């Protein structure tokens, strides 16, 4: 029901309506006003229809909305017929136009048709105009009822924003394991082996040649965070001069990520709050230090924005010592075209080797050995 083809039909009706009424007489003033009002109210109609199409069983909960959607569909069907007729008339006009007729004859014929057309519209005997008016009035009449359902759209938006805030507020991970590591012992060994091995000769950019990266990729609930908590707490991490645990989550804020790195290092909140001050403070803290950084629960936003943000986050890390490591967890996504250039580790029984965009953006700067 809610998946009706709304936008192109209504927009065409408005467009054709204005063109068809351009030489109208004053009796069609109301029709033009309704076209203008319909044009203004169209975004609200789109919002309600989109809301209804995205909610399961919404029409059962709100019978009035279901009734209005059926009325709208009926009006859309009538509008479609009129649009189809107007499109045919325009096409016919182009096909039958004879450019070889003499100029005077063409002008006279055009003027005659125009006067006849205006005369018919003045007398209200133009059948096409009548169908246009009827379809428009019916559609406009139904559309005015959209105001009764806008509160549903607004409530849905507020609920979505609330869920996002709750999700971000609740999703904060720490480095201490809360659960036993079940079924991922082999994965832990792979990570431990990677931490023990010195970086290979395939280095990243000159700026970040001191850092290598490994990504833990998978669906939610697979135990990615638990895996890294057990790794982070292992004795092997004592080989690093310093280590940091940061939960990035779905609200990727550069200053917060850097501030959390500093707090993880110094066990106190940084006193500075500007990006430049935070970057310089972190740069000083890890200068020539071989560090281990865990970036847990990375989400994806806009690719270009993410790239710029990661540049700001990684900039102070370039001062760290050679052999520094970054471990990250991120949700599984479809593989980008660039994935084929990266090494992949596949583990039996688990879906591996899919490189999300967040991983690719980081590996653009940092030497990437593999991900699991």
Residue 178 within a domain: no
Q: What is the pLDDT of residue 122?
A: 47
pLDDT value of position 359: 43
226 domain-assigned: yes
Kindly provide the b/e burial profile for residues 252-276, where b requires at least 16 CB atoms within 10 angstroms of the residue's own CB.
Answer: bebbebbbbbbebbeeeebeeeeee
Distance CA 72, CA 80 (A): 12
Looking at the structure, do residues 213 and 359 belong to the same domain, yes or no? yes
Residues 43 and 96 in one domain: yes
pLDDT at 104 over 60: no
Condensed to tens digits (0 to 9), the pLDDT of residues 300-329 reads 655 566 778 888 999 999 999 999 999 999
Q: Is position 303 within any domain?
A: yes
Under a CB-based contact definition with an 8 Å cutoff, are residues 9 and 83 in contact?
Answer: yes
**What span, in angstroms and rounded, lies between the C-alpha atoms of 266 and 258?**
12
> Are 329 and 228 spatial neighbours (Cβ–Cβ below 8 Å)?
yes
- Mean pLDDT on 193-220: 75
Contact between residue 314 and residue 365 where contact means Cβ atoms under 8 Å apart: yes
Write the DSSP symbol of residue 55. S
| 97 and 232 inside one domain | no
Q: What pLDDT digit, counting tens, does each position of 44-91 carry?
A: 888 888 888 777 667 777 888 888 888 888 888 888 888 788 777 777
- pLDDT tier at 236 (50, 70, 90 boundaries)? very high
Q: Is residue 2 part of a domain?
A: no
Domain final residue, candidates 113, 141, 167: 167
Q: Are residues 107 and 193 in the same domain?
A: no
Q: Which of 46-60, 209-223, 333-347 has the highest average model confidence (pLDDT)?
A: 209-223
Quote the pLDDT of residue 17. 73
Residue 350: which pLDDT band, with cuts at 50, 70 and 90? very low
User: Are 74 and 213 part of one and the same domain?
Assistant: no
Do 260 and 309 lie in one domain? The reply is yes
| CATH code of the domain containing 351 | 3.40.50
pLDDT tens for each residue of 121-131:
444 546 777 77
**249 shares its domain with 222:** yes
**Number of domains, the chain:** 2
Among residues 132, 167, 202, the one where a domain terminates is 167
Question: Do 363 and 223 belong together in one domain?
Answer: yes
Q: How many CA atoms lie within 13 A of 275 on its CB side?
A: 10
pLDDT given at position 105: 53
Q: Is residue 48 part of a domain?
A: yes
One domain, residues 187 and 163: no
User: pLDDT higher for 359 or 280?
Assistant: 280
Which of 109, 132, 167 represents a domain boundary (last residue)? 167
- Residue 353 included in any domain: yes
Residues 197, 131 share a domain:
no
Is the pLDDT at 344 greater than 50? The verdict is no
Buried b (16+ CB within 10 A) or exposed e, 322-356: ebbbbbbbbbbeebeeebeebeeeeeeebebbbbb
Domain hosting residue 116, numbered range: 7-167
299 and 351 both lie in a single domain: yes
**Per-residue model confidence as pLDDT tens digits over 144-203:** 888 888 888 888 777 766 666 665 555 678 889 887 877 778 889 999 999 998 764 445
Tell me if 286 sits within 8 A of 317, measured CB to CB. Answer: yes
């Amino acid at each position: 029901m809610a998946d009706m083809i709304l936008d192109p039909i209504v927009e065409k009706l408005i467009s054709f309506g204005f063109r068809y009424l351009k030489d109208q007489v004053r009796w069609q003033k109301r029709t033009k006003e309704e076209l203008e009002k319909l044009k203004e109210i169209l975004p609200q109609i789109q919002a309600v229809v989109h809301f209804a199409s995205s909610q399961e069983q919404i029409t059962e909960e709100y019978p009035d909305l279901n009734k209005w959607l059926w009325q709208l569909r009926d009006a859309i069907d009538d509008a479609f017929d009129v649009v189809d007729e107007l499109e045919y008339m325009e096409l016919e006009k182009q096909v039958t136009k004879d450019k070889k007729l003499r100029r005077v004859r063409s002008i006279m014929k055009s003027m005659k048709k125009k006067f006849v057309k205006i005369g018919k519209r003045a007398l209200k005997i133009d059948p096409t105009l009548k169908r246009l008016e009827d379809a428009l009035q019916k559609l406009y009449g139904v559309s005015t009822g959209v105001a009764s359902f806008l509160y549903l759209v607004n409530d849905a938006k507020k609920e979505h924003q609330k869920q996002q805030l709750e999700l971000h507020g609740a999703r904060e991970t720490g480095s201490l394991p809360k659960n036993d590591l079940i079924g991922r012992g082999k994965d832990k060994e792979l990570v431990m082996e990677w931490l023990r091995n010195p970086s290979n000769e395939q280095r990243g950019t000159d700026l970040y040649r001191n850092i290598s990266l490994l990504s833990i990729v998978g669906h939610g609930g697979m135990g990615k965070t638990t895996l890294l908590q057990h790794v982070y707490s292992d004795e092997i991490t004592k080989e690093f001069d310093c280590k940091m645990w940061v939960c990035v989550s779905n609200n990727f804020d550069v200053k917060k990520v850097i501030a959390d790195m500093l707090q993880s290092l110094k066990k106190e909140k940084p006193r500075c709050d500007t990006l430049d001050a935070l970057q310089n403070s972190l740069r000083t803290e890890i200068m020539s230090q071989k560090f281990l950084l865990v970036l847990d629960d990375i989400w994806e936003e806009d690719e270009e924005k993410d790239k710029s943000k990661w540049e700001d986050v990684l900039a102070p890390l370039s001062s760290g010592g050679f052999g520094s490591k970054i471990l990250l967890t991120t949700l599984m996504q479809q593989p980008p075209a660039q994935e084929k250039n990266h090494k992949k580790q596949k583990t039996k029984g688990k879906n591996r080797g899919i490189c999300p965009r967040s991983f690719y953006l980081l590996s653009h700067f940092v030497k990437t050995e593999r991900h699991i």
